[in-house]
Structure 1
Amino acid sequence: MTKIAVGVLTVAAALTAVQQAAAAEWSDTSIGYRYGTQFAEPYVGKGITKNIFNLTHASGYKYGSNYFNVDLLQSDNKDSNAQEAYIVYRNTLDLGKVSGKDLSFGPVRGLGVTAGFDWNTKNDTGYASKKRMLVLGPTLMMDVPGFLNISLLLLQESNQPIGVTSRYTYDLHPMLNAAWGIPISSTGLAFEGYMNYIAAKGKNEFGGGTAPELNIDAQVMYDLGTPLNLGKNTLRVGLEYQYWRNKFGNPSNVPGSLAKTPMVRVEYHF
């Protein structure tokens, strides 16, 4: 995984430089681990065990916020003992802060514009994804405890898996995204996660049709840091569940296109 690690470190260094240049007003960085035995991969099947290590960074600056996450995934032999890196970066520009005006209305706290990218590489023997995706679109920032952002994003996605001689670009297509982190009163618990509904993206790189995709990933996390005197939200543990239908746009007749995956999760924040 040497090349993957180098790429991750390069992106992390670039993010640090951006954060410093933007004079972050707040920031949260964590490392985490999650584990599940019911992952699924299209054309491979289900019942795959994965160990996933992640680095996550979120920060706010004068005109908006940044979010960066990298997952390093290790599959068992049902998925070729494959290793994967998946990187997500989002920047949300708060239009109210930029304009100096209060743009709130009803249940909406503010309006924004979100831009960013997804990037992955995987070394399995069947598909070996090398996804590249750019995203751009408006965001509603809802007035809730914690945060709830709802975005309508336009996606430009390409890939160059095994058997494809040049990078293939799918049709432009929209994604409805919701991301949230909501504390549950003063219990030390929080409900967090994201939902992506992605429209079909035309023909795939092999000439087959694609299908609308639904990915819901939600977790309930507990602040274990406070009772252990480590600091509030320093150490967090919880349960996570992912429902992923038509994974990566593969229709329901493809084996492994539907995943229902419970996981355990632990995070250390610094």
Structure 2
Amino acid sequence: MKKQILALAVMSAAAVSVQAEQFWSDNSVSVLYGSDYKVDGPKFDDGNSLTTYTLEHVSGHSWGGLFYFMDRHVGDDGFTATYSEFSPKVYLTQFEGGVVKNINAAFTIESSSGGFDNYLYGVGADLAIPGMNFASATVYYAQNDDIEDDYQLTLTYGWSSGAFNIDGYIDFSTETDDSKANLHFNPQITYDLAPMLGKTFSKVKVGIEYSYWGNKYGIDGVDQNAISALLKVHL
């Protein structure tokens, strides 16, 4: 039943978007390389090297917004995996002035090549914080066919000064009988080289991504601290 409800919400958002106005969009491809990744590779609780290729889209519409991406991981000893998220949000109400810009109905489908799919739905707010390019806070109820349901708090943020940029997210998932509470802090710190390279691409970012994931995947005591080199090209 939960899959049908979420699928209906996603299809409704898609149907609305056909007739609604798109205000902006951004598409990018990126390559990430680093070590010290836990679980994702042959060394469960030790450092695995991982190269991640990512396709990403984000856009703003008169009805709300859409974010989706797909990761392809290639690691040690032939390890490969694919992971994707599809996340529409629909405005419930909007405000003029103040810290809260919008209240949204939020939906996310998380899919992995291992057959582990999460279905999240909740309520979020887009925030107007001085000095920030964007910020949001969303509370989800997360459902899965294989493990106990839980709650997730997701914070997103972005800040820039000239060509220097910091953005990312923080996910916190609550504890259940099947998994420990876990925290994933994942900022990207980049510098845009596009002004030096001409106007072939809107942005060419180089920098690092830091991934702290306490109790990764809800596994007790598996804490990831990984710093990776990043190249991200906005098309």
TM-score tier by shorter-chain length is 0.7 to 0.9
Change in Cα spacing, 1:73 to 1:41, as seen in structure 2 (3 Å) is same
CA drift of 1:40 comes to 0.9
Summarize deviations over 1:197-223 as a string: whole Å, max 9, x none.
Answer: 0012323xxxxxx21011110011111
- Greater fraction of residues in strand: 2
Say which of 222, 228, 235 aligns to 1:263. 228
Secondary structure at the residue paired with 2:176?
coil
Aligned match of 1:236: 205
1:35 aligns with 2:20: no
Secondary structure at the residue paired with 2:47?
strand
Q: Is the 8 A contact 1:226 1:232 kept in 2?
A: no
Aligned match of 2:8: none
Aligned match of 2:9: none
Secondary structure at the residue paired with 1:227?
helix
Q: Is the 8 A contact 2:201 2:233 kept in 1?
A: no
Aligned match of 1:140: 125
Secondary structure at the residue paired with 2:83?
strand
Q: CA RMSD in A?
A: 2.2
Secondary structure at the residue paired with 1:25?
strand
CA drift of 1:235 comes to 1.1
Q: Distance in 1 between matches of 2:15 and 2:188?
A: 31
Aligned match of 2:3: none
Secondary structure at the residue paired with 2:194?
coil
Summarize deviations over 1:169-196 as a string: whole Å, max 9, x none.
Answer: 3222100111122223xx2111101110
**TM-score, normalized by length of structure 1?**
0.75
The percent of aligned pairs where both chains have the same amino acid is: 20
Change in Cα spacing, 1:83 to 1:19, as seen in structure 2 (3 Å) is farther
CA drift of 1:18 comes to 8.4
**TM-score, normalized by length of structure 2?**
0.85
Q: Distance in 2 between matches of 1:233 and 1:191?
A: 17
Q: Is the 8 A contact 2:34 2:51 kept in 1?
A: yes
Q: Distance in 1 between matches of 2:120 and 2:19?
A: 23
CA drift of 1:115 comes to 0.6
**Which blocks of at least 5 consecutive residues in structure 1 are unaligned?**
1-14, 97-101, 122-128, 159-168, 204-209
Letter in 2 for 1:132: D
- Note the 1:1-270 alignment, pairs <5 A: 22-41=20-39, 44-77=44-77, 81-96=78-93, 102-103=94-95, 106-121=98-113, 129-144=114-129, 145-158=132-145, 169-184=146-161, 187-203=162-178, 210-230=179-199, 233-252=202-221, 257-270=222-235
Secondary structure at the residue paired with 2:196?
coil
Change in Cα spacing, 1:52 to 1:139, as seen in structure 2 (3 Å) is same
Summarize deviations over 1:105-128 as a string: whole Å, max 9, x none.
Answer: 74222211111210001xxxxxxx
How many residues of Structure 1 are paired with residues of Structure 2 in the alignment?
219
Secondary structure at the residue paired with 1:51?
strand
